[in-house]
């Protein structure tokens, strides 16, 4: 997904059309404006009257008759006047704050979501103008014609979602897009690496249904009896043999504590298992210790859980006597910028890891400052599907000369996206900056060039790229 996701949960949100105006906002304006101002006037008048009353109470009328009040009475009157003055000043501040709030609401800085949440943003964003207003009339005219004469039925919600998607696609940037509320929920699950389900990696089976490629041994599915290689053909009585993968997986996943019944094919047997869905942490890192004490570590994606899994894997390999390491990021599409930065802090000496520049030329630097550094022989395997965060990882390792980059030219995605949630649960993702390696390599459209170019030979008996990486690390050890 390739986001700069330190903004993903930000309150600085763009809000959708339905929540920027209307009766609720007007009601707030009424509360914060005229009534309070009038109340302030009444307080001022009351303060003047009270001073007269205080004077009577402490003998001010006697002053006119007797020429001089007691000193004690004068100081008390002065103190009361000071208190009233402070109250008046406080009310003035309150009125100023309320007036600023009213202006902010009017300008679009404050928005109220359907769930009652208040969103505050640094830039004015309203639904009162813009391209939506410009095309509204024509869209309604088209809709009116089609409603009268179009033969089929149309789902209005689907139509609106497709309009939003089409508008963002018109920017010509394939990384700028609109997510429906359901799509955004799934996106958050995929980036934080946590969801509720049975704990298994799935892929479509050529025989129909979903193949459980990897059933986590600590997951609900394994505990229920499911095993890697099982082919799921039915979920809760629903046949999924002709269903697309995302739809089938959506049926298997669900809320924590709920149960799901899966019918699977295992060899020649047809078996049924019932599992209670639980929290699942995606496995983004797998590793093993190869011959000659060379560690092999594969990273499938850079998600929130990946940094922790990566450090644990490296430390475990070291405890087993690892003398060198091969990191495989082939076919890794990328992920979160903060995640790859955290991993590189663990690998590199303190210093610049990566930097971004926006369209105004503003530069943001990410540095390592924790004294962590990996000091064993290292090789990193890449290919044409290693993208975004994978290229940040490979580029930084290469710039610092920390390891040998082996394989083929990487994908060439050197731009950063952020996601802004909207108040109705949907979201927009858009490109905000370009990133550069520590030495200033501009990867976008170019990719990272390996130190050792090795093609993957599909006809060979071994993984030619992995074999080359192992031999490279062995040479560094010796």
Active site residues: 388, 399, 413
**Beta pairing, strands 177-179 & 194-197:** unpaired
Phi-psi label, residue 177: left if phi above 0, alpha if psi -120 to 50, beta otherwise: beta
Residue 347 CA to residue 394 CA, distance in Å, equals: 12
Distance, in Å, from the CA atom of 411 to the CA atom of 413, rounded to the nearest integer, reads 6
Phi, psi values for residue 352, rounded to 5°: -65, 135
250 Cβ neighbours under 8 A, 6+ residues apart:
none
Please name which of 406, 411, 476 lies closest in space to residue 443, comparing C-alpha atoms: 411
Q: Do residues 197 and 280 touch, judged by C-beta distance below 8 A?
A: yes
CB atoms within 10 A of CB 365: 11
CB 173 within 8 A of CB 418: no
What is d(CA 352, CA 366) in angstroms, rounded to the nearest whole number? 6
Please list the helix, strand and coil fractions of the chain in percent, rounded to the nearest 5, in that order.
Answer: 40, 25, 35
């Amino acid at each position: 997904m390739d986001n700069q996701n330190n903004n993903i949960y930000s309150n600085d949100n763009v809000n959708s059309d339905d929540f920027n105006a209307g009766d609720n906002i007007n009601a707030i304006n009424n509360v914060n404006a005229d009534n309070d101002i009038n109340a302030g006037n009444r307080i001022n008048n009351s303060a003047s009257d009270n001073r007269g009353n205080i004077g009577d109470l402490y003998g001010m009328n006697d002053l006119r008759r007797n020429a001089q009040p007691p000193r004690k009475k004068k100081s008390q009157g002065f103190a009361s006047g000071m208190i009233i003055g402070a109250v008046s000043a406080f009310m003035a501040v309150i009125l100023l704050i309320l007036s600023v709030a009213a202006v902010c609401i009017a300008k679009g800085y404050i928005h109220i979501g359907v769930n009652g949440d208040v969103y505050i943003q640094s830039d004015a964003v309203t639904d009162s103008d813009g391209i939506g207003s410009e095309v509204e009339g024509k869209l309604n005219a088209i809709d009116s014609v089609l409603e009268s004469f179009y033969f089929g039925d149309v789902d209005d919600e689907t139509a609106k979602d497709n309009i939003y998607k089409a508008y963002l696609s018109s920017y010509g940037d394939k990384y700028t897009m609109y997510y429906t509320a359901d799509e955004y929920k799934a996106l958050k699950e995929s980036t934080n690496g946590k969801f509720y389900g049975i704990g298994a990696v799935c892929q479509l089976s050529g025989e129909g249904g979903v193949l459980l490629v990897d059933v986590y041994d600590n997951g609900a599915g394994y505990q229920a009896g499911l095993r890697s290689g099982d082919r799921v053909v039915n979920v809760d009585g629903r046949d999924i043999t002709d269903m697309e993968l995302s739809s089938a997986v959506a049926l298997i996943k669900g809320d924590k504590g709920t149960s799901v019944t899966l019918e699977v094919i295992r060899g020649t047997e047809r078996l049924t298992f019932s599992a209670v869905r639980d929290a699942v942490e995606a496995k983004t890192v797998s590793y093993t210790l190869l011959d000659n004490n060379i560690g092999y570590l594969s990273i499938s994606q850079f998600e929130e859980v990946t940094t922790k899994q990566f450090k644990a894997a490296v430390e475990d390999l070291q405890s087993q006597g690892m003398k060198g390491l091969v990191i495989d990021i082939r076919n890794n599409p990328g992920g979160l910028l903060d995640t790859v930065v955290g991993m590189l802090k663990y690998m590199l000496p303190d210093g610049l890891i990566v930097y971004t520049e926006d369209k105004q030329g503003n530069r943001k630097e990410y540095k390592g400052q924790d004294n962590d550094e990996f000091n064993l022989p290292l090789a990193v395997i890449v290919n044409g599907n290693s993208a975004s965060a994978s290229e940040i990882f490979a580029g930084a390792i290469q710039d610092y000369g920390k390891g040998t980059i082996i394989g083929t030219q990487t994908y060439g995605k050197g731009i950063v996206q952020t996601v802004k949630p909207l108040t109705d649960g949907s979201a927009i993702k858009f490109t905000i900056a370009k990133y550069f390696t520590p030495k200033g390599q501009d990867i976008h459209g170019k990719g990272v060039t390996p130190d050792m170019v090795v093609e993957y030979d599909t006809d060979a008996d071994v993984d030619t790229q992995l074999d080359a990486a192992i031999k490279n690390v062995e040479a560094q050890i010796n």
